[in-house]
Structure 1
Amino acid sequence: MKYQYSHCYSDFGRDLKTLSSIFYMPTLSFSYQIKRSARATRVRIVVKADNVEVVAPLHGVSDKRIAQFVQEKRQWIEQTLAKIAQTIQVQGSPIPDVYAQGTEILYRGQMYTLAIGVTKLKRVKIDFTDCFTAYLPDGLLIEQQSDAIKKALLQWLKQQTLVQVQVAVSQHAASKKLFPRSITIKSQKSRWGSCGFQGDININWLLILAPPEVLEYVVVHELCHIQVKNHSQQFWDLVTEHLPDYKQHRRWLKTQGRSLMAFHE
């Protein structure tokens, strides 16, 4: 019997038998539920926002062996729970009303603090290292600063979107010769990306706010449309060749993507 572990956010209810049980262990910081599935060929751990599930075959693996497996993967489970909690917290964060010293900025799935500096330039300059810094012209009036920072930040985020899209294209285009004719970063209220008949790709800049792998998935999705114009099995097989775990990122967009749309201009 091989043991593997992974996390996702899907509902396995259709595939599982009703045989299940919840385990609490004093040595663990979490409880977990064992679900026995007739379709399962190995044990795997599914970490969700509200619980930990261990999916196992109906026979051949005892609860004691599963408990041992959970203990072996304890650190990974706790790290994954923490990551999910952080993601939920990020997605629940309000849009800043004012851009000033200490404002929290969402970028690539994480929150970063905004600091304020001064520049001799006549326009606001945005810099990013381990936090955001907005360098303001010395003569900029206080009542104008927030709007000026927001405008400069949006422009910077769109530029970074193009940079990261180009990185993803460079990583995935060559293997199957999926070279786009053009790449355009757009502001769209209902679409994450699109691919024209001639291979012109459009990407929503809001994806720069999502975790990096989500943006990568959308880019791969549109690249694959250069070769396959529909959503047939051939298309999804091509996506899988580039991103075997694409379903996880697709699911993230379905469950978390709406919150990003709130950041729309």
Structure 2
Amino acid sequence: MKEQTAVAVICDKPVRYRVRRSDRARRLSLQVSPRKGLEVVLPRRWSLAELDRALRENAAWIDAQVERFDVRLGPRSPELVTGSTVLVLGRPRALKVEGAEPGRRRGRVVAENDRLRIQLTADDRMDPRPLLERWLRRLARLHLEARVGELAALHGLTPSRVIIGERTSRWGSCSHKGNLSFCYRLVMAPPAVIDAVVCHELCHLRHLNHGPGFRKLLAEICPEHDEHMSWLRDHHDDLQI
């Protein structure tokens, strides 16, 4: 199983956590954040006994962090109500959650300058999240397909397909068939950061690894790549809905 959720007893109190197995990880890591709660990244071949030992050895730290972020029972989703904000192409957009016009059968999201109006019908059960996710997915497809096409042509690279989905561990990937996949939430980042992720995956069309050839090509077509990746790491929790 790629991911699973479990509950551990930490300092005599229950803590919900998520385990993600990774082929790339070389050691176990523990992370706590408001949006993801306690997440454990476990190398593919490591046993659950090693996971249990890590939880015991780091119990005091885990207890302090889950108390600090108030995520003992799991991550907290951002509140999507009138007045809250979400990032769209790096710009904060204020939300206005309202009822749809009489007679409208489906809810929708309307973009107005720096505001997003989320118009709900009775069928939406007053939950704006699915509508906002669909809107972001459509925007991501339009923006990423356009940028992949433009940057690929500029640098003489030819991807097979562009796939937009929900990725839990990476913002983008490149398959051996030349398919480029991106997380739809990447469209919440600034355009320059999006371009850096696109350039990273385009370079994998020529070098399906992170060796010297890959790094040389990436430095040529995106000199500020590392700076943009730092932005993604620093703002990971802001790119959630």
User: Could you say whether these structures have the same fold, taking a TM-score greater than 0.5 normalized by the shorter chain as the test?
Assistant: yes
Counterpart contact for 1:172–1:242, Cα < 8 Å? no
Aligned to 2:155: 176
- Deviation, structure 1 residue 95: 4.5
Figure out how many residues of one structure are paired with residues of the other and give that number.
163
2:106 corresponds to which of 123, 145, 161: 123
Map Cα deviations across residues 57-110 of structure 1 (whole Å, 9 max, x no partner): xxxxxxxxxxxxxxxxxxxxxxxxxxxxxxxxxxxxx8433x333232222223
Secondary structure of 2:235's counterpart equals: helix
- Deviation, structure 1 residue 129: 2.7
Matches within 5 A, 1:7-46: none
The amino acid across from 1:136 in the alignment is L
The percent of aligned pairs where both chains have the same amino acid is 28
Counterpart contact for 2:87–2:238, Cα < 8 Å? no
Q: Distance in 2 between matches of 1:244 and 1:112?
A: 29
Q: Distance in 2 between matches of 1:113 and 1:144?
A: 21
1:198 corresponds to which of 165, 173, 177: 177
2:165 corresponds to which of 186, 189, 192: 186
Aligned to 1:42: none
Counterpart contact for 1:180–1:199, Cα < 8 Å? yes
Q: Distance in 2 between matches of 1:159 and 1:205?
A: 8
| Two-structure CA RMSD over aligned residues (Å) | 2.2
**Regions of 4+ moved over 3 Å:** none
Structure 2 segments unaligned to the other structure (5+ residues)? 1-75
- Deviation, structure 1 residue 260: 4.4
Counterpart contact for 1:108–1:209, Cα < 8 Å? yes
1:213 corresponds to which of 178, 182, 192: 192
Q: Distance in 1 between matches of 2:220 and 2:149?
A: 16
Aligned to 2:93: 112
Q: Distance in 2 between matches of 1:117 and 1:212?
A: 31
Q: Distance in 1 between matches of 2:104 and 2:167?
A: 31
- Deviation, structure 1 residue 203: 0.4
- Deviation, structure 1 residue 176: 3.1
Aligned to 2:34: none
TM-score by length of 2: 0.61
Structure 1 residues 103 and 181, CA, compared in 2 at 3 Å: closer, same or farther? Answer: same
Which protein has the bigger strand share?
Answer: 2
**RCO greater where, 1 or 2, for CA within 8 Å and sep 6 or more?**
2
Structure 1 segments unaligned to the other structure (5+ residues)? 1-93
Map Cα deviations across residues 180-212 of structure 1 (whole Å, 9 max, x no partner): 111111212111111000101110112122222
Greater Rg, structure 1 or structure 2?
A: 1
Matches within 5 A, 1:1-265: 95-97=77-79, 99-115=80-96, 116=98, 118-119=100-101, 120-130=103-113, 131-137=115-121, 140=122, 144-145=125-126, 147=127, 149-257=128-236, 259-260=237-238, 263=240
Q: Distance in 1 between matches of 2:225 and 2:78?
A: 31
Counterpart contact for 1:96–1:104, Cα < 8 Å? no
Secondary structure of 1:240's counterpart equals: helix
TM-score by length of 1: 0.56
